[in-house]
Amino acid sequence: MSVRFERTGPLTELSSYPQWAQDMVGECDIVKRTVVDHELWREMCTGEHPEITQRFVVGAWPAIERFPCYMARSLLKTRYGRSEGEDNARRWLVRNIRVEQNHAEYWLNWAEGAGVSRQQVFHGQLPPGTQVLADWCEQVSTGDTLAASLAAVNYAVEGATGEWSRILYESESFAAQYPQPTRRGSLRWLQLHAAYDDEHPWEALELVCGLLGPSPRPAEVTHMAECIKRTYVAMRILGDRSVQPSGKLEVAEDYEVVAA
């Protein structure tokens, strides 16, 4: 990209980014709300149906376990010196793949606290449909552009995850479901993501803007938006199947994005 993008303000203010990015985020946030406002988090906070949390920690495990792999596939798309945008993405990916190294272990600690053994997580049957998020992240990180994989995986997944993690971590009723002696370890994954994902998605958005520049082609922007929406829809399906593991789902038209 010959025209260089420069952020005009603070990292976490949308007005700091090009108008095309602001418009894209606004359009995608409508779908994002179906993830962040999902009934799953309310059900998990009440603790009235512990099997819901158990289905979620099992169903989301493939995406959790593979997350550094998605980032590694994005890294493989870079070539140092080809562009400033790629160089920035390369540095960021190398640094943050290391950050992910302990997160799978923290997730397993959460699962155990929720009454799911490691063997059940490793070898148990996934609730039907919950693998859609892992499959989509695999697809976009392997077969699409660097900008698309950063947008779909690091911007969309980490952004929505930061928000739902805060809902759970800040809930006293949710924390009370875990015995005091092991509570801190059980909730470590949530604690980290409720905090560190504050800036991660913004950093990913900045990288996407650096790759596409201040004035990308409309088709490029449309594709980025479609990839981000597909991530949110996949996360919504994971939530639906955690709450309602079988039978017909009451789905919105947005699900056609994933099913197509």
- Give the largest CA-CA distance in the chain: 56
When divided into structural domains, the chain yields a total of: 1
What's the pLDDT at 197? 52
31 in a domain, yes or no?
yes
HSE (CB half, 13 Å, CA atoms) of 22? 11
Question: How many CB atoms are closer than 10 A to CB 6?
Answer: 9
Share of the chain above pLDDT 90, in %: 88
7 in a domain, yes or no?
no
Q: What confidence tens digit (pLDDT) does each residue in 222-241 have?
A: 999 999 999 999 999 999 99
152 in a domain, yes or no?
yes
150 in a domain, yes or no?
yes
9 in a domain, yes or no?
no
Question: Which token pair is 178?
Answer: 């875990």
What's the pLDDT at 131? 95
Q: What average pLDDT is seen over the chain? A: 93
pTM equals 0.92
Domain of 212, in residue numbers: 14-259
4 in a domain, yes or no?
no
What's the pLDDT at 53? 98
187 in a domain, yes or no?
yes
d(CA 258, CA 111): 27
207 in a domain, yes or no?
yes
pLDDT in tens, the chain (260 residues): 456 898 999 999 999 999 999 999 999 999 999 999 999 999 999 999 999 999 999 999 999 999 999 999 999 999 999 999 999 999 999 999 998 889 999 999 999 999 999 999 999 999 999 999 999 999 999 999 999 999 999 999 999 999 999 999 999 999 999 999 999 999 999 999 998 557 999 999 999 999 999 999 999 999 999 999 999 999 999 999 999 987 554 444 444 444 32
What's the pLDDT at 257? 40
Q: Where residue 255 sits, what CATH number does that domain have?
A: 1.20.910.10
Spatial contact of 141 and 149, defined as CB atoms under 8 Å apart: yes
